[in-house]
Structure 1
Amino acid sequence: MKHILLAEDEVSVVEFIRRGLIEENYTVSVAFNGSTGLKMALDSSYDLIILDIMLPDMNGLEVCQKLRSNHLLTPILFLTALGTAENVVTGLNAGADDYLVKPFKFIELNARINALLRRANQKAEPEMPSYTNLYVLADLRVDDTAKTVTRSDQPIQLTATEYRLLLALIKNKGKVLSRIDLLESAWDLNFNTGTNVVDVYINYLRRKIDSAAPEKLIHTVVGMGYVLKEP
Structure 2
Amino acid sequence: MGDRQLVLVVEDEANIRDLVGTALRFHGFVTASASTGAEALREARAKRPDIILLDVMLPDFDGFEVCRRLRDEGDDVPVIFLTARDTPSDTVTGLTLGGDDYVTKPFSIDALVARIRAVLRRAALAAPPPKEQEKEVLRVADLELDESSWLVRRAGVELELSPTEFKLLAYLMRNAGQVLTRAQLLENVWGWTHQANAQVLETYISYLRRKLDPLGPPLIHTRRGIGYTLRP
TM-score calculated relative to the size of structure 2: 0.78
Query: For the Cα contact (< 8 Å) 1:2–1:47, is it kept in 2?
Result: yes
CA RMSD of aligned residues (A): 3.1
Pick which of 54-63 and 160-169 moved more.
54-63
The amino acid that maps onto 2:208 is: L
Query: Which one has a larger percent helix, Structure 1 or Structure 2?
Result: 2
The separation in 2 between residues aligned to 1:135 and 1:105, in whole angstroms, is 43
**Superposed, which structure 2 residues align to 1:1-231 within 5 Å?**
1-10=4-13, 13-14=16-17, 17-18=20-21, 21-22=24-25, 24-68=27-71, 72-84=75-87, 86-88=89-91, 90-92=93-95, 94=97, 96-103=98-105, 109-121=112-124, 122-123=126-127, 125-128=129-132, 130=134, 133-194=136-197, 196-214=199-217, 216-230=218-232
Q: CA deviation at 1:184?
A: 2.5
Q: SS at the partner of 2:60?
A: coil
Q: SS at the partner of 2:66?
A: helix
The separation in 1 between residues aligned to 2:20 and 2:180, in whole angstroms, is 33
Pick which of 169-178 and 8-17 moved more.
8-17
Query: For the Cα contact (< 8 Å) 2:23–2:109, is it kept in 1?
Result: yes
In structure 2, stretches of 5+ residues that fail to align are: none
Q: CA deviation at 1:59?
A: 2.4
User: Once the two structures are aligned, what percentage of the paired residues are identical?
Assistant: 37
Output one character per residue of 1:147-189: Cα deviation in whole Å (capped at 9) or x when no partner.
2222223222211111100111111112222222222232233
Q: CA deviation at 1:38?
A: 3.4
In structure 1, stretches of 5+ residues that fail to align are: none
Moved over 6 A (4+): none
Query: For the Cα contact (< 8 Å) 1:53–1:61, is it kept in 2?
Result: yes
The amino acid that maps onto 1:148 is: L
TM-score calculated relative to the size of structure 1: 0.78
Would you say how many aligned residue pairs link Structure 1 and Structure 2?
227
